[in-house]
Amino acid sequence: MYEHPLTDGTVWLTRPTGADIDRIVECCQDPEVQRWTSIPVPYARADAENFLDRSVAPGWADNAPVWAIRTAAEGRVDGMVGLVDRGVRTREIGFWLAPEIRGRGLMSRVIRLVCEFGFAPEGLGLARITWRAVVGNYPSAAAVRRNGFHYEGLARSGGVQRGVRVDEWMGARLATDPPGPVDGWPQ
């Protein structure tokens, strides 16, 4: 797949590069990023290098892109969002944001851009984008709920985070679902 940057003029999504490694390492020291994602803890420079080599590069090659989230066209990394291949015309969205930019509605913008690209025939032409998160990750659930994702249930011991089984919430949005807020999510 060709690299495909996305922007709405407030957030810019571009492929992360070696120049972003130090900032990725810095962001991945945040306790909330560590709490809700499956990144290695502690997170070191070698982990960021492996992420670029083993996730980003193959992802772009296999229509499962990973973007750095930036709040300026040539700005530093403020987060990450990616689409993991989950079968025919299906991808799973995953994301995190640096603590200093949370609470400004930026992740909702990011998810909207990624979904528009993912569902567009000239983008990835997906039929379904799934989401899952460790139970209790309300900020992540709120961001996808605002973007048309429907809650699909609880997977008891459905995930593994650093060797420990965890319960997960699951949700999804279909290409035919409207992008606005959806009810029926856990409180």
Q: Return the amino acid letter for 122.
A: E
Q: Is 68 left (phi over 0), alpha (psi -120 to 50) or beta?
A: beta
Domain count, the chain: 1
Domain range enclosing 34: 6-129
Q: Token pair 């420079």 is at which residue?
A: 45
Q: How far apart are the first and last CA of the chain?
A: 39
**Residue 82 falls inside a structural domain:** yes
Residue 127 Cα distances to 24, 58, 64, angstroms: 31, 22, 14
**Residue 112 falls inside a structural domain:** yes
Q: Are strands 6-7 and 150-161 parallel, antiparallel or unpaired?
A: unpaired
**Residue 183 falls inside a structural domain:** no
**Residue 116 falls inside a structural domain:** yes
- How much is the pLDDT for 187? 82
Residues 6+ apart with CB under 8 A from 110: 11, 13, 69, 79, 81, 95
Predicted confidence (pLDDT) per residue in 102-159, tens digit: 999 999 999 999 999 999 999 999 999 999 999 999 999 999 999 999 999 999 999 9
**Residue 122 falls inside a structural domain:** yes
Residues 6+ apart with CB under 8 A from 112: 8, 147, 179
**Residue 125 falls inside a structural domain:** yes
pLDDT above 70 covers what percent of the chain?
A: 99
Predicted confidence band at 166 (pLDDT cuts at 50, 70, 90)? Answer: very high
For residue 42, whether the previous peptide bond is cis, meaning omega lies within 30 degrees of 0, is yes
Angstrom distance (rounded) from CA 141 to CA 150: 10
The CATH number of the domain holding residue 29 is 3.40.630.30
- pTM across the whole model: 0.96
**Residue 186 falls inside a structural domain:** no
pLDDT above 90 covers what percent of the chain?
A: 97
**Residue 164 falls inside a structural domain:** no
